[in-house]
Chains A and B, each alone.
Chain A
Amino acid sequence: MKHEWPLWEIFIRGQHGMSHRHVGSLHAPDAEMAVKNARDVYTRRNEGVSIWVVEARHITATVPGEKGPMFEPSESKVYRHPTFFDIPDEVGHM
């Protein structure tokens, strides 16, 4: 037999309540071993409290060529950001 273990993408949630974040990839024969390998490879320095693994081929991504239509429309919607609004200093922190 000559085929490689599938590639898995690893997501880890750290200590401080942030969302899971992509930290890298590894190979494993199945999902259970991928979780264990992720524990051994990507949390050697106490980096995480929760691990997600996804087989790389199951990830659907945006197409780089469509970056314009996908992401530029949100650039003009400045009113979504708090700094768009001027609040007088007298009102205090908001």
Chain B
Amino acid sequence: MYAQMIKSTGEGVKSRDEMSPEEAAFQEKVDADIKIEPRDWMPEGYRKTLIRQIGQHAHSEIVGQLPEGNWITRAPTLERKMILLAKVQDEAGHGLYLYSAAETLGVTRDELTEALLTGKMKYSSIFNYPTLNWADIGAVGWLVDGAAIMNQVPLQRTSYGPYSRAMIRICKEESFHQRQGYDIMMKMAQGTPEQKKMAQDALNRYWYPSLMMFGPSDAESVHSAQSMAWKIKVNTNDELRQKFVDQTVPQAEYLGLTVPDENLKWNEEKGGHDFSEPDWTEFFDVLKGNGPCNTDRLNARVKAWEDGEWVRDGLLAHAEKKAARKVAAE
């Protein structure tokens, strides 16, 4: 997902007896679906885990601008160019909302940015894959946003108020992203033989990385159990992955495209598809920095940040001068 492999405190879920009165009161509120707000008491582990999760989600939005931004200047029509630009702009907005939510937990946006640029914090593995043909823009909207939405919709009910409100806003805006992606795929799949080839090529390359977005199986993970008890994670990774596959396979069929998995078949008994696991070795390689685009992505962010320093400083210096002149005049 946009937030993958988030480690909670790692101690496992405490029983009621092990909890302090404050912790017990906190857990009761969470259980009763009462939102936790910034100035409420919260366990330190909850706060830290949330900063990691929201921060990683925000970083994913910002780095996620790059693979799609790669095609803005090459979009094939004026309308496609505007739609794509508006969409990539939305990603920046979503990053901004999420950074703001994280800031209510006592961390600044600059600190989070620093952590991204020094590699201390991660972003979703998916954005380390390249966009190589125009259909990739369709596939990213259809598959990547589709997978993201699957995770984000339940997170609208997450226990932390500012996070939940950010997710509500994001989900509202995100609804056009997946549809515009599928719209591109339809045009390509029904287009010339070359266009259809692009569409199939995009699906071939984005299928498994999309499945990886949900992260490895976490049914046994203590981190996940704690996050679920805190309601900052709602479903297990496997549940979401299954749901995604079941939703996506008929959409691929409609397009006349082939999902690149020979083992894919409907399993009547479980009421879902059987499918091949992605290559988890590749996933961990990408997380370690060895994906096809990790270096380029991070360099692009570092460059934007460093090149922008004089701008941020200049505008702030002017604001301070202006304020000082106003005081002097009064």
Q: Out of B89, B96, B323, which one reaches A30, CB within 8 Å?
A: B323
Docked CA distance A59–B96 (Å): 21
Q: Which residues of B contact A1 (CB under 8 A)?
A: 313, 316-317
Q: Which residues of B contact A61 (CB under 8 A)?
A: 39
Q: Which residues of B contact A27 (CB under 8 A)?
A: 109
User: For chain A, which range describes its interface: under 10, 10 to 19, 20 to 34, or 35 or more residues?
Assistant: 20 to 34
Kindly report which residue of chain B lies nearest to residue A30, judged by CB atoms. Answer: B319
Give A contacts to B, CB under 8 Å. 1, 3-5, 7, 23-27, 29-30, 33, 41, 44-45, 61, 63-65
Q: Which residues of B contact A4 (CB under 8 A)?
A: 108-110
Kindly report which residue of chain B lies nearest to residue A42, judged by CB atoms. Answer: B93
Q: Out of B40, B96, B109, B319, which one reaches A41, CB within 8 Å?
A: B96
Q: Which residues of A contact B37 (CB under 8 A)?
A: 64
Are the C-beta atoms of A25 and B323 separated by less than 8 Å?
Answer: no
Q: B90, B97, B317, B318 — which one has the most chain A CB atoms within 10 A of its CB?
A: B97
Number of A-B contacts (CB under 8 A): 47
Convert B149-177 into 0s and 1s, putting 1 for each residue whose CB lies closer than 8 angstroms to a CB of A: 00000000000000001100100010000
Q: Which residues of B contact A33 (CB under 8 A)?
A: 315, 319
Q: Out of A5, A25, A44, which one reaches B316, CB within 8 Å?
A: A5
Q: Which residues of A contact B317 (CB under 8 A)?
A: 1
Q: A26-B96, A29-B318 known; 6 other A-B pairs, CB under 8 Å?
A: A4-B108, A25-B100, A29-B316, A44-B89, A45-B173, A65-B41
Task: Please report the total number of B residues contacting A with Cβ < 8 Å.
Answer: 28
Q: Out of A7, A44, A63, A64, which one reaches B93, CB within 8 Å?
A: A44
Q: Is B312 an interface residue (CB 8 A)?
A: yes
Residues of B166-191 contacting chain A, CB below 8 A: 166, 169, 173
Give B contacts to A, CB under 8 Å. 37, 39-41, 86, 89-90, 93, 96-97, 100, 103, 108-110, 165-166, 169, 173, 312-313, 315-319, 322-323
Are the C-beta atoms of B322 and A30 separated by less than 8 Å?
Answer: yes
Kindly report which residue of chain A lies nearest to residue B165, judged by CB atoms. Answer: A24
Docked CA distance A54–B145 (Å): 34
Q: Which residues of A contact B93 (CB under 8 A)?
A: 41, 44
Q: Out of B90, B96, B169, B315, which one reaches A29, CB within 8 Å?
A: B315
Q: Which residues of A contact B100 (CB under 8 A)?
A: 7, 24-26
Docked CA distance A64–B316 (Å): 34
With contacts A29-B315, A30-B322, A33-B319 taken as known, whether A24 is within 8 angstroms of B39 at the C-beta atoms is no
A32 to chain B, nearest CB (A): 9
Q: Which residues of B contact A64 (CB under 8 A)?
A: 37, 39-41
Are the C-beta atoms of B103 and A7 separated by less than 8 Å?
Answer: yes
14 contacts between A and B (CB under 8 A): A1-B316, A1-B317, A5-B312, A5-B315, A7-B100, A24-B166, A24-B169, A25-B103, A27-B109, A29-B316, A29-B318, A30-B322, A30-B323, A61-B39
Q: Which residues of A contact B108 (CB under 8 A)?
A: 4
B325 to chain A, nearest CB (A): 12
Kindly report which residue of chain A lies nearest to residue B37, judged by CB atoms. Answer: A64
